[in-house]
Amino acid sequence: MSPAHFRSRTGLRRDIEAAVHTLDPQTRRPDGALASPATARNAGPILEVLRAHLPARGRVLEVASGAGEHAVAFAAALPGLEWTPSDPSPEARASTAAWAGASGLPNLQPPLALDMLEEANWPEGPVEAVVCINMIHISPWTATEGLMRLAGRVLRRPGGLLALYGPYREAEVELAPSNAAFDESLMARDPAWGLREREAVAAAAKAEGLAFTLRLEMPANNLMLLFRAV
């Protein structure tokens, strides 16, 4: 799958999550910012995990930020961190910029045009953390491999944090019916998409010097997976 094809697909990320995984539609505010009830609901639980594991100060790179609603919520709650959102979709970046403009947060940076399949455009580190929410299942596997290479390159060593959120397959856990239906819908839209095996994601991270340290169950059959640069 070409990078151009991936960019055209990734703009659908939040629409698919809303329509299929949560049945919540997105709405566009007068300033152009896109809002989703699903994002508003999961921001709190994700923030609890991030607050417990991120340092008080430093730089955070968010990969596949989507509409930017999460970025604003996290930057507001974690004022000591410089939060940089990113997304390959121009529409997503425009929404993030609208959210940021309305928030006026001094620690929220402009969104980067960051594509996991275009390594030449990746930013330089070091950063204290890389955060990625709901990308891995709505992108080709090569994007996950790119994410791990990026994190391995930019995370501060030792101890830099890679935090992943979303639904996964696990060998020892029966797949929830809602996740099975979501997986089927994703693969019907694009055969390169779908829920990934947690073990495969951990192996891809390990290949880039990232140790799998914590698995946390989250609402709606999602997981937070935490990795540390070693």
> Is pLDDT larger for residue 50 or for residue 37?
50
Enter the tokens of residue 30: 């007068």
In 78-226, where does DSSP find H-type helix? 90-103, 141-154, 177-189, 198-206
* Cβ density class 29-53: b for 16+ within 10 Å, e for less: eeeebbbbebbeebbebbbebbeeb
Q: What letter would DSSP give residue 111? A: P
Q: Which residues, 6 or more positions from 174, have their beta carbon under 8 angstroms from its beta carbon?
A: none
Enter the tokens of residue 77: 């709650």
Going through 38-102 in order, the beta strands assigned E by DSSP cover 58-63, 81-84
pLDDT at 33: 92
The pTM score is 0.89
**Average of per-residue pLDDT across 133-159:** 98
Is the pLDDT confidence value at 15 over 50? no
Q: Are 105 and 139 in contact (CB under 8 A)?
A: no
Going through the chain in order, the beta strands assigned E by DSSP cover 27-28, 34-35, 58-63, 81-84, 129-133, 161-166, 210-218, 222-229
pLDDT band at 9 (very low <50, low <70, confident <90, very high): very low
Is the pLDDT confidence value at 1 over 70? no
Q: Counting every residue, how long is the chain? A: 230
Is the pLDDT confidence value at 217 over 70? yes
In angstroms, rounded to a whole number, what is the distance separating the alpha carbons of residues 159 and 128?
8
- Name the phi and psi angles at 111, rounded to 5: -70, 140
**Average of per-residue pLDDT across 218-229:** 98
